[in-house]
Amino acid sequence: MAELLPQEEALMSRAREAESAREGAFEEMAPTGDFPAGDLNAVVDSLNQVLPMFKLPAYPPFAEDIDGPLPSEFVQSLSMVADSADAAGLERLSFDVSTATDSAGLEDIQARLDTLAGNQSFKTFLRSEAQGEVPSDVPEDAPPFDVAAAQDVAAVDESLLMERM
């Protein structure tokens, strides 16, 4: 494998640091408690009704109870949904994952996920986000983005990178 340029190494290092910090933030956010697998899987079932709206695969069920912090991937998925509910203007259906420290907290999250799964406003919001609506600060008379030209630039960049190897 070819060696990276110093700028590429620095960029890769910063990306690793950012990912590590992000993972650490979700670990810190993860609530700690005694969570029965049945209650966790009820939340997973509700979460799995919402994840397809984000074009994400289903979260796997829990095989055993958790006595301690929830897995960071689980917290991340739940936080993504809660943040999207906020962004959609559905603050009443949003939730703070870090406050779920027992079965009652999990049941509250499950109920909100169930409601979001059937909420037409939420579905419409996610579809509009996925379609990449034009941001309000882009002028209406701005030229359209040229996908073919961008692909040509990417191909040239790739060929230059391959020459270095």
What residue segments make up the domains of the chain, in order of their start? 15-133
CA distance 44 to 61: 6
pLDDT at 149 over 70: no
Q: Provide the terminal-to-terminal Cα distance of the chain, rounded to the nearest Å.
A: 7
H or E, element range at 35: strand 32-35
The Cα-based distances of 148 to 33, 140, 153, 158 in angstroms read: 52, 21, 9, 15
Residues 88 and 121: beta-carbon distance below 8 Å:
yes
* Structure confidence at residue 28 as a pLDDT band (50, 70, 90): low
What's the pLDDT tens digit per position in 35-80? 999 999 999 999 999 999 999 999 999 999 999 999 989 999 999 9
What pLDDT, on the 0 to 100 scale, is given for residue 25? 60
| DSSP state, residue 96 | -
What pLDDT sits at residue 32? Answer: 87
Full-model pTM: 0.66
Q: Cβ–Cβ contacts within 10 Å for residue 107, how many? A: 14
H helix intervals, the chain: 6-29, 37-50, 72-87, 103-118, 120-130, 147-164
Instruction: List the structure tokens of 118.
Output: 């059937």
